Structure 1
């Protein structure tokens, strides 16, 4: 298994820097064009902000012996069958000799609205994985070893994502680990539990301030949900497939 973590840390910094730079360029272009979509949404509608992370994953596939695999990332070619719905679009698929090797999602969230977006991201992540694994159980992808499912989130490091959040549950108490937890902490818990419940092979949360457009700075919240665990887990899966 070929892993040089320093290389992937550097590549992640480049991906983070590109993320913030691409958002700002998209925002400026829409402002110059007089588009009403010139607020925070302008950076989202650009659509290519997470491409640096996609490139990192592609490099991992090639570095770990699976050069023959086909990597799909075009929107028209990243659809997989579901169980509770007909199909689901993924961000990246790895297919080798007709076998689904990996399916990955790359997500991001910036302020100022963290609350509604967190709930939407959570429901989407859980539902997507449950739908795929049920389809897998029912033979949608043939009788092959389980694919790797990956979920990576880049979250803005800002006062609103770090501050404690109050919840109301009038009938039954919430789990204590959520009491007063910030959105950063909630994403960490989400990623931990997505893996503990075997919904995803690896789920990672990285945080980064807007100033990272200059230097690509990012932070991890713990070892389990950090970059190293994601990278080594994915690389190991790819290497195992290459050895078949």
Structure 2
């Protein structure tokens, strides 16, 4: 993830931000509402204005399934926390910052295999049910969707619900010749960067008015 952070930092500087204002290693704490502070992965504070805050998250290895729900709860909670702090004036009278979420998932067989849901009382969201695979006792049985699809849905819905300004979902193989894929056309790195640059241009333009 370090390489992606450096790449995004370079893009921000090319867009016109001062390198000194782009933070990726130290002084990354921002006020929260449900907690005192949260340490973000990349932030930009320019002349006392919070321009943006970003999360870079990754998941790899055989135990990916154990962390899917934790990642979702963390992403939603962090966004809710900072937006409430923004509403309460923790960042002054500045315009709304850009909130970005980038997720990198290891591309391996176990993340692309459907995983059934446990539904003892109520049906889960149809998007998580996958395709029907026959019936049992008159009730349709569903395969569920893969972990990669669950992460894709997470990223898409984080933006749909306006918790994050933009999100990016990438998959990469763990091999000497790493192959990176972008499963969803609405969550590509190109679109993510375009939204990021647009926000920076707007911010810099407002300062010149």
Q: Same fold (TM over 0.5)?
A: yes
Alignment of 1:1-244 (within 5 A): 50-67=1-18, 70-75=21-26, 77-179=27-129, 180-211=144-175, 214-244=176-206
Q: Distance in 1 between matches of 2:119 and 2:170?
A: 29
**SS of the counterpart of 1:62?**
helix
Instruction: Give the root-mean-square deviation of aligned CA atoms.
Output: 1.2
Q: Distance in 2 between matches of 1:169 and 1:148?
A: 37
Q: TM-score w.r.t. structure 2 length?
A: 0.89
**SS of the counterpart of 1:221?**
coil
Q: Pick the structure with more helix per residue.
A: 1
Q: Distance in 2 between matches of 1:69 and 1:238?
A: 15
**SS of the counterpart of 1:215?**
coil
User: 1:68: Cα distance to partner?
Assistant: 6.7
Structure 1: 4+ residue segments shifted above 6 A: none
Q: Which runs of 5+ in 2 are unaligned?
A: 130-143
Q: Distance in 2 between matches of 1:68 and 1:93?
A: 11
User: 1:74: Cα distance to partner?
Assistant: 2.4
User: 1:216: Cα distance to partner?
Assistant: 3.3
Q: Which runs of 5+ in 1 are unaligned?
A: 1-49
Q: Distance in 2 between matches of 1:102 and 1:59?
A: 15
Q: TM-score w.r.t. structure 1 length?
A: 0.76
Q: Distance in 1 between matches of 2:19 and 2:122?
A: 53
User: 1:67: Cα distance to partner?
Assistant: 2.7
